[in-house]
Amino acid sequence: MMLVGAALRKTGEGWEFASEAALEDFIWNNLQQLLGLTPLKRQYAVKGEVCDILALNQTKQLIILELKNAEDRYVIQQLTRYYDNLLDEKPFVEQIDYDQPVKLIAAAPCFHRHNLIDCKYNLLKIDLLQVSVIKNNQDFYLQLQNINTHQTSSIPIPYQELTFSSTSQNIPETPQMLLDWLGSCTGSEQQAILKLREKILSFDERVKEEIEGRNTIRYGRGKSKPIAEICYHRNTHKPIIFLWLPTPTSQQKEVIGRLRLWIDGETVTHVGHVPDGFGRMKLQSEWDAMPREKRPGNLYWSRSHKSFIPVTISKGYNNVPNTLESLADLALTKWLARI
Return the pLDDT at 5. Answer: 61
pLDDT tens digits for range 313-323? 988 998 999 99
**Beta sheet of 225-233, edge-to-edge order:** 208-212, 216-221, 225-233, 238-246, 256-264, 267-273, 311-312
| Residue 203 reports pLDDT greater than 80 | yes
> Helix, strand or coil for residue 153?
strand
Return the pLDDT at 262. Answer: 96
How would you classify the pairing of strands 103-108 and 62-67? Answer: parallel
**Is the overall model pTM greater than 0.85, yes or no?**
no
| Residue of 168, 194, 166 whose CA lies nearest to 181 | 194
How many CA within 13 A on the CB side of residue 120? Answer: 5
222 in Cβ contact with 210 (< 8 Å)? yes
Terminal Cα distance for the chain, rounded: 48
List the beta bridge partners of residue 229.
218, 242
Mean pLDDT of 198-210: 94
Mean pLDDT of 94-113: 96
Q: What is the DSSP string of 60-95?
A: --EEEEEE-SS--TTHHHHHHHHHHHHHHH---TTT
| Residue 2 reports pLDDT greater than 80 | no
| Residue 1 reports pLDDT greater than 50 | no
Mean pLDDT of 238-261: 92
Q: What are phi and psi of 224, to 5 degrees?
A: -80, -20
Measured CA to CA, the distance from residue 206 to residue 63 in angstroms comes to: 53
Q: How many residues does the chain have?
A: 339
Return the pLDDT at 273. Answer: 96
Mean pLDDT of 244-260: 90
> Helix, strand or coil for residue 34?
helix
Return the pLDDT at 164. Answer: 61
Average of per-residue pLDDT values in the chain: 91
| Residue 218 reports pLDDT greater than 90 | yes
| Residue of 176, 190, 166 whose CA lies nearest to 238 | 190
> Helix, strand or coil for residue 48?
coil
Return the pLDDT at 320. Answer: 93
Measured CA to CA, the distance from residue 210 to residue 44 in angstroms comes to: 33
Rg of the Cα trace of the chain?
Answer: 23
Mean pLDDT of 124-140: 94
184 in Cβ contact with 6 (< 8 Å)? yes
Percent with pLDDT over 70 in the chain = 96
> Helix, strand or coil for residue 336?
helix
